[in-house]
Amino acid sequence: MCQFLEWDSDFFGVRIARIIENRLSEEPLEEILMWCKSNSIDCLYFLANTDDSRTISLAEEQAFHLVDIRVTLERQINDFPEREDGPDQSVVRLCIPSDVQPLRAIARISHLNSRFYYDPFLPKSLCDALYETWIEKSCSGYADAVMIAELDGEPVGYVSCHLLDQGRGQIGLFGIRADLQERGLGRRLIDESLRWFFRQERREVIVVTQGRSINAQRLYQKCGFLTRSVQLWYHRWFRQ
């Protein structure tokens, strides 16, 4: 019922696992807690469905700490998406190796609404480094493509694209340099990612964002995405 997360554990320096299911009941929860004790787990992630009040009650009773509201949106792509206008001097292209360092600097401060920053036991410096590492790995093959917004010859934004099965795709990391937001760059990046997915024969695209990220939700909605599900992220710590 649980999965040990080797990468997360190595990165944060504590033993981290995740509950596989999205619902809880008394007997499985008791087995989960025993498994965590026998495997010396320090932190347990749990993504809960919101349509089961007993699951939420059990999580709260067992000291799970709410760290995020996960919003999943989806869009169907039935025709080749039209290109949206952005700043006249902007260019959207695939990433190249020289983009990595500027993108790391953007990623370091672009994901402050994520669940990791809302866990008081995770050092903020490691949360910053997490997204620096994430965008670098994405540019190095973890993502199937990373689209870059370039302005005046400088990378100023990114969106990572992942190919899934059954004709689906997923937007991963998305970020725009803080001083250039609200200028149409974000919408153009999303638009170009949808065009890329269409060329890869993906007709459904999903994206995950935070419930507290209202601006991100509005951007995706403007790009034709509709909310598919809302879930709750919990972290349970077994030591201080």
Separation between Cα atoms, residue 181 and residue 177, nearest integer Å = 7
Instruction: Return the beta strands (E) in 38-119 as ranges.
Output: 43-49, 65-76, 90-94
pLDDT the model gives residue 86: 57
Any idea which residue has 């669940």 for tokens?
A: 115
The string of pLDDT tens digits covering residues 52-108 is 999 999 999 999 999 999 999 999 998 876 666 555 678 999 999 999 999 999 999
Question: What are the pLDDT tens digits along the chain (240 aa)?
Answer: 999 999 999 999 999 999 999 999 998 999 999 999 999 999 999 999 999 999 999 999 999 999 999 999 999 998 876 666 555 678 999 999 999 999 999 999 999 999 999 999 999 999 999 999 999 999 999 999 999 999 988 999 999 999 999 999 999 999 999 888 878 899 999 999 999 999 999 999 999 999 999 999 999 999 999 999 999 999 999 976
Q: In the chain, which ranges are continuous DSSP H helix?
A: 6-12, 26-38, 53-61, 100-108, 124-137, 185-199, 214-222
Three-state secondary-structure class, residue 66: strand
Q: In Å, how far from its chain's centre is CA 119?
A: 16
Q: In Å, how far from its chain's centre is CA 174?
A: 8
Domain residue ranges in the chain: 2-62, 74-229
Any idea which residue has 């008394």 for tokens?
A: 26
Separation between Cα atoms, residue 120 and residue 94, nearest integer Å = 36
What is the pTM (predicted TM-score) of this model?
A: 0.91
Angle at 160 between CA 74 and CA 19, to 5 degrees: 65
- What phi, psi does 28 have (nearest 5°)? -60, -35
Three-state secondary-structure class, residue 47: strand
Cβ neighbours, 10 Å, residue 175: 24
Separation between Cα atoms, residue 102 and residue 154, nearest integer Å = 8
Give the pair of three-digit tokens for residue 178: 């803080």
- For domain 74-229, say whether CATH 3.40.630.30 is its number: yes
